Structure 1
Amino acid sequence: MMSGLEAALAEASSPSSTQRARAGRGLAFFADLPEAAEALVRLLLDVGDTAVTRQTAEALAQVATVAAVRLIALAIAEADDNHADWLQTGVHDALVGPDGVPDIAATCRKLVRDQEESVRRGAAEISAWIDGTRF
């Protein structure tokens, strides 16, 4: 029997966008594990369906750990304008949802001091999104 992590990792490579989106939501809690992180970045930049991008970004923003938000920041550095818009929408959805995530701003403040320049840029971008959102 497969664990939740194994099942989500398998779904992350599925041809079905519904399964990939489910994988993004399921893997968000494992963002600190290298195998999950790799799959999550692929899902954040999903070439087949931006709904996967949006739902994965929302799930990671809801988790709001340094590892989870770091992956969104990394994806922002690689994203084209279309994917960046859907990443922003996913973060926004997490912030305005019923369980809003106010500590994502604190997480971004930590990440703007990250060793990787792309993470620093991405965290600054997320912070700008948060600052531009009225709750």
Structure 2
Amino acid sequence: MSGLKAALAGASSPSWKQRVRAGLELAPFADAHEVAEVLVGLLLDVENTAVTRQTAEALARMGSVAAVRLIALAVAEADGNQADWLQTGVHDALVGPDGVPDLAAACGKLAGDQEEAVRRGAAEILAWTDDTTR
């Protein structure tokens, strides 16, 4: 658990490299409430687009409904620049050499989420997956 605590601490580091590392290390814990809030903060990092991009890619590679839900929440809150980097991170996961779980299926499950922002963000991510598969 000390690794998780270190990653949580790294998420608030002034170093963008440490924040990127934190996003990568925290992605597998997307379903934990305290981690989820931190990950959304990393997805919406205002200081460095690498943090946004690489955290989005890590969560997209996880492919779980919980991970994609966090990306969807961030998409709903993102400004235009952040949204572009979120999309780039998702795209990087989709076209990467290791493949990625079916994001479209996760987005489909989120279409019925009780939060409107999640439904809206999931629809946007689904459009990105359609663009990548063409």
* TM-score, reference length from structure 2: 0.97
SS at match of 2:123: helix
What is the alpha-carbon distance in structure 1 between the residues aligned to residue 39 and residue 82 of structure 2? 14
Partner of 1:40: 39
Partner of 2:57: 58
Shift of 1:102: 4.2
| Unpaired runs of at least 5, structure 1 | none
SS at match of 1:41: helix
What RMSD over aligned residues (CA atoms) do the two structures have, in Å?
A: 1.0
Partner of 2:79: 80
| Unpaired runs of at least 5, structure 2 | none
What is the number of residues matched between the two proteins? 134
1:6 aligns with 2:28: no
Q: Displaced runs of 4+ in structure 1, greater than 2 A? A: none
Matches within 5 A, 1:9-20: 9-20=8-19
What is the alpha-carbon distance in structure 2 between the residues aligned to residue 36 and residue 69 of structure 1? 14
* TM-score, reference length from structure 1: 0.96
Shift of 1:3: 1.9
What is the alpha-carbon distance in structure 1 between the residues aligned to residue 101 and residue 28 of structure 2? 18
Q: Percent identity?
A: 75
Partner of 1:24: 23
Please tell me whether the aligned partners of residues 62 and 101 of structure 2 are also in contact (alpha carbons under 8 angstroms): no
What is the alpha-carbon distance in structure 2 between the residues aligned to residue 133 and residue 8 of structure 1? 31
